[in-house]
Amino acid sequence: MAPGSLVLASWIPNSYTVSIYPDIGLSSEFAMVSGTSMACPHSSGIAALLKGAHPEWSPAAIRSAMITSAINIDNTNSPIKDSGLNYSIATPLAMGAGLVNPIFTLNPGLIYDATPQDYINLLCAMKFTGKQILTITRSSTYTCQNASSDLNYPSFIALYTNETGATLSQKFTRTVTNVGDGPANYSINMTVPSNTNISVYPSRFSFSSKYEKLSYTLTVEYSGNKTGEVVFGSITWVDVIGLHAVTSPIVVAPMIQTW
């Protein structure tokens, strides 16, 4: 799953609902004062707003709009005066996609959608048993049709091993849906993580109508120092007339060994 995300999931018999929303990171200083994090109610309220404005959108579409239109806040690594604390620059592992903006989410331009079967395919790829999947879905109509860990999620994480001489090359496939008012053209902008090559094909999209779907592949090639570094970047699909900027975080991190 994507880094820095809060997962809220429930399956109700005959009514599918899975929602994964970006976690707006709040400082520990605020958390100590309030005793709780406001990320969940903030995100849930914005999700409800989006559902009211776009009743036809799936939970995955709502999640996508919130993630890809989020605002990145950078504190420039400056210390807070008289606090004795120094804060480093926030990364996707700390803040997810960023600060959710309810205005931008209403008209995101493109969305990454997913169906109930896509989630079942993910559970299958994670080696969940049929009994475990039935416990989650409470429906026997879902089966492992095409096990895949490459969920159509609006962010990317590539994991490498620390083995000497090992390199990482990982390919992702994503499908975006045009939810703008009509035809649209997009090009790609990239912020490439250090020691990494990123390639996207195709690098341009031309949508002829609303709700048209187009797919692309993103390949991450990493050849860093294998000392456990975590590097970050992003891709942004930009509407050529400047109406939309659809951003997806990229994280390259070491694989955690469980033994």
Q: What is the pLDDT of residue 34?
A: 46
| Length of the chain in terms of residues written | 259
Q: Are 147 and 125 in contact (CB under 8 A)?
A: yes
> Coil, helix or strand for 186?
strand
Structure tokens at 205: 């999209």
203: Cβ contacts below 8 Å, ≥ 6 apart: 187, 188
pLDDT in tens, 120-170: 999 999 999 989 999 998 888 888 878 988 999 999 999 888 765 567 899
pLDDT in tens, 213-245: 999 999 999 987 667 788 999 999 999 998 999
- Structural domains in the chain, CATH included, are 5-108 (no CATH), 116-254 (2.60.40.2310)
In angstroms, rounded to a whole number, what is the distance separating the alpha carbons of residues 182 and 184? 6
Q: What is the pLDDT of residue 1?
A: 36
Q: Which range is most confident: 68-72, 86-90, 141-145?
A: 68-72
Count CA atoms within 13 Å of residue 122 on its CB side. 13
Of 217, 218, 227, 250, residue with least CA distance to 166: 227
Q: Among positive and negative, which fits the CA dihedral 25, 121, 171, 209? A: negative
